[in-house]
Chain A
Amino acid sequence: MSDDDDILLDVAHLKVYFRLPRKNIFAKASRVHAVDDVSFQIKRGTTLGIVGESGSGKTTTAMAVMRLTPITSGAMRLGDTDLAALEGEDLRHARTRMQIIFQDPYSSLNPRVRAGAIVREPMDLMNIGDPADREGRVADLFRKVGLRPEQQALFPHQFSGGQRQRIGVARALATQPELVVCDEPVSALDVAIQAQILNLLRSLQDEFGLTYLFISHDLGVVQYMCDEIAVMYLGQIVEYADRISLFTEPLHPYTWALLSAVPSADPATRARADRIRLQGDPPSPIDLPPGCRFSSRCPFAEARCVQETPPLRSIRPGHAVACHLVSDDGVPPQRRS
């Protein structure tokens, strides 16, 4: 990666394991490898997308970055601050610099608090700005996210889903954060409303120079929102590339399968002969065997895929893949034969 100075978030070898309750006292305790050795960096003012299916660990990664879930090991630096090492009051203060927008606009707002108070609360808790100015700032935030300041007195249930998500965005911006984690911010919204929120997030990014960690399962949304993209499968990054290379030259067979699985309104895309269909569902991330985690569903898998875990290696500047079968000059298995 280029200039180190403009890296805002640097995550290295992040691991989040969950222990499952033992079936009986003699059984071995099972562990869910929710996030297993994940590293990425986000440049200031850009958007990194993490895309994957259920169980890929994308949301757990987001929660770990927000320090909302305990991390097993790894390093996370936000600017000059070592996020992974912070505890107690220090962590509380660091939280002003990173905020999160949740997936479900119905459960992410406290139903007993008025909209204005929801947006004001972070400023009161973090002691941001002069208390006398906060009222004006709340009104300002309401306008910025496309709500009317008069609507502050309403309770969350009096808003539609899209408007509730706007309140969530306003709350996230209240502390003037540098990093905003967007955890599937539009997947619970109606299709016609999604565009409103996506456009809003992009214009806010331009206006405030925000850095986004954008979690989504929707490749179309990721393609529209993100500058760099990490594809996750069962807790690991299998491919990591900038937006243009990932979609024009996907290397990992899983990325390839993912792209061909997306239903397309474009007849030309649908007619492509090189679409591949995966069999079965992603396996559960409990007590995983060695080897490539995708090998059980991979149409190209060979003996060594089951034995050795492929490392994430760089094929070109800005394009890395974790697959034994991608040749060093960047020819993926689906392109051969």
Chain B
Amino acid sequence: MTDSDNTQSRQIDEMPETPVEHPFRQFVTMYMRNYAAVAGLLVFVVIVAAALLAPVILNVDPFEMVDVPLLPPGESGHLFGTDNLGRDMLVSIIYGARVTMAVGGAAAAITLIIGLSIGAMAGYYRGWVDEVLMRITEFFQVLPPLLLAMVLVALFSPTLETVAIAIGVVSWTGVARLARAEFMRLRELDFVKAARSIGGRDRRIIWLVILPNALPPLIVNAALTVGIAILFEAALSFLGLSDPNVMSWGKLIGDNRDYLLDAPWTVTIPGVAIFLTVLAMSLIGDGLNDAFNPKLRER
């Protein structure tokens, strides 16, 4: 109703002369109000810190066989026990975090770049550009993603780069559709027309005028994509389609799956790690969504 307007109308002389609160600080305040999202962020920070600091805090090779295989957690000073080859699970988990986060992050970035470029072009130019790009998008959408990723990794060498690219290539379609919808909505708004009428070129309008306004839902989506990419990486590693020379959580599960009944921790611990990371990403996405949504800000 019209009465909701009165928060917007303010007496001229009461107008603050400088912004009371920078939009970014307002954003942080809003995010902090979502406790689950803060918890997710904490988990994420701990994992990233562990991944980054792994070589510093544990100057060991995760592939080194240090003890008897399949030791339960806590025995002989191995907090998480040992795996089927007698490697320390804690070290493997920490080193695995590096790979998992790197592949997850890189794949999400690739997803965002491909999806955003295609979606932005289709939504902004529309017409035949839209037709062509959307047919391509649909082509990728109907392919089974895991199978396509497996084929890509199998065709090329199973390095981390290939894995990240393969995951990116199979999961950008959602971002493209989202970006297209946002660009189509925003390009009709008057401030975009205004940007054209003051002589803005297409490139400027797409990247500097529309994109900043289209980013919020895309960033939320990117956070969720990191989670999905981590699951993908785990699935590929589990199937033995990842780089055999680096430790990852999926690889741990894959290597130890035969001992599931005798030494359940070997599979459960990396499983819980994946679960926590994906959950954290999803909570972060949720928190970002709240913080970006100006309607919730008023409460």
Which residues of A are at the interface with B, using a C-beta cutoff of 8 A?
A: 63, 66, 68, 92-93, 95-96, 98-100, 102-104, 107-112, 121-122, 125-126, 148, 150-151, 153-155, 157-161, 163, 168, 171, 174-175
How far apart are the CA atoms of A126 and B195 in the complex, in Å? 12
Q: What are the residues of chain B within 8 A of A126 when measuring CB–CB?
A: 198-199
Q: Is the CB of A110 within 8 A of B209?
A: yes
Q: What are the residues of chain A within 8 A of B193 when measuring CB–CB?
A: 63, 68, 100, 102, 108
Q: Is the CB of A151 within 8 A of B15?
A: yes
Which residues of B, 188-246, contact A by the 8 Å Cβ criterion? Answer: 189-191, 193-201, 204, 209, 212-213
Q: Is the CB of A95 within 8 A of B199?
A: yes
Q: Is the CB of B198 within 8 A of A160?
A: no
Name the contact of A160 in the complex, choosing from B9, B189, B197, B294 (C-beta under 8 A).
Answer: B9
Q: Is the CB of B190 within 8 A of A108?
A: yes
How far apart are the CA atoms of A270 and B212 in the complex, in Å? 52
Q: Is the CB of A171 within 8 A of B194?
A: yes
Q: What are the residues of chain A within 8 A of B204 when measuring CB–CB?
A: 125
How far apart are the CA atoms of A175 and B209 in the complex, in Å? 19
Which 6 pairs, one residue from A and one from B, show the smallest C-beta to C-beta distance?
Answer: A108-B190, A122-B198, A102-B190, A150-B17, A125-B199, A110-B191
Name the contact of A122 in the complex, choosing from B19, B189, B199 (C-beta under 8 A).
Answer: B199
How far apart are the CA atoms of A163 and B194 in the complex, in Å? 17
Q: Is the CB of A155 within 8 A of B17?
A: no
Residue of A nearest to B294 (CB): A157
Q: What are the residues of chain A within 8 A of B198 when measuring CB–CB?
A: 95, 99, 121-122, 125-126, 171, 174-175
How far apart are the CA atoms of A102 and B12 in the complex, in Å? 22
Q: What are the residues of chain A within 8 A of B19 when measuring CB–CB?
A: 153-155, 158
CB distance from A169 to the nearest CB of B (A): 12
Q: Is the CB of B199 within 8 A of A102?
A: no
Which residues of B are at the interface with A, using a C-beta cutoff of 8 A?
A: 8-10, 12, 15-19, 23, 189-191, 193-201, 204, 209, 212-213, 294
Name 25 interchain pairs, CB-CB below 8 A, sorted by A: A63-B193, A68-B196, A68-B197, A92-B199, A93-B199, A96-B199, A100-B197, A102-B194, A103-B190, A107-B190, A109-B191, A110-B195, A110-B209, A112-B212, A121-B198, A125-B204, A153-B18, A155-B19, A160-B9, A161-B8, A163-B12, A171-B194, A171-B198, A174-B198, A175-B198
Q: Is the CB of B17 within 8 A of A100?
A: no
Q: What are the residues of chain B within 8 A of A102 when measuring CB–CB?
A: 190, 193-194
Q: Is the CB of B17 within 8 A of A160?
A: no
Q: Is the CB of B16 within 8 A of A111?
A: no
How far apart are the CA atoms of A111 and B175 in the complex, in Å? 23
How far apart are the CA atoms of A285 and B127 in the complex, in Å? 23
Q: What are the residues of chain A within 8 A of B18 when measuring CB–CB?
A: 150, 153-154
How far apart are the CA atoms of A104 and B190 in the complex, in Å? 8
Q: What are the residues of chain A within 8 A of B15 when measuring CB–CB?
A: 151, 154, 158-159
Q: What are the residues of chain B within 8 A of A161 when measuring CB–CB?
A: 8-9
Known: A68-B193, A160-B10. A111 touches B200 (CB 8 A): no
Q: What are the residues of chain A within 8 A of B9 when measuring CB–CB?
A: 160-161
Q: Is the CB of A92 within 8 A of B201?
A: yes
CB distance from A175 to the nearest CB of B (A): 7
Residue of B nearest to A69 (CB): B193
How far apart are the CA atoms of A331 and B17 in the complex, in Å? 60
Given contacts A68-B193, A109-B191, 6 further A-B contacts (CB under 8 A): A93-B199, A112-B23, A121-B195, A125-B200, A160-B9, A171-B198
Q: What are the residues of chain B within 8 A of A66 when measuring CB–CB?
A: 197
How far apart are the CA atoms of A92 and B197 in the complex, in Å? 8
How far apart are the CA atoms of A103 and B15 in the complex, in Å? 24
Known: A107-B189, A112-B212, A112-B213. A158 touches B16 (CB 8 A): yes
How far apart are the CA atoms of A112 and B209 in the complex, in Å? 9
Residue of B nearest to A193 (CB): B9
How far apart are the CA atoms of A171 and B294 in the complex, in Å? 26
Residue of A nearest to B209 (CB): A110
Q: Is the CB of A151 within 8 A of B8?
A: no
How far apart are the CA atoms of A37 and B201 in the complex, in Å? 30
Residue of B nearest to A125 (CB): B199
How far apart are the CA atoms of A68 and B15 in the complex, in Å? 34
How far apart are the CA atoms of A107 and B15 in the complex, in Å? 21
Q: What are the residues of chain A within 8 A of B10 when measuring CB–CB?
A: 160
How far apart are the CA atoms of A121 and B197 in the complex, in Å? 11
CB distance from A89 to the nearest CB of B (A): 9
Q: What are the residues of chain B within 8 A of A63 when measuring CB–CB?
A: 193
Residue of B nearest to A110 (CB): B191
Q: What are the residues of chain B within 8 A of A98 when measuring CB–CB?
A: 197
How far apart are the CA atoms of A46 and B273 in the complex, in Å? 72
How far apart are the CA atoms of A150 and B16 in the complex, in Å? 9
How far apart are the CA atoms of A265 and B88 in the complex, in Å? 88
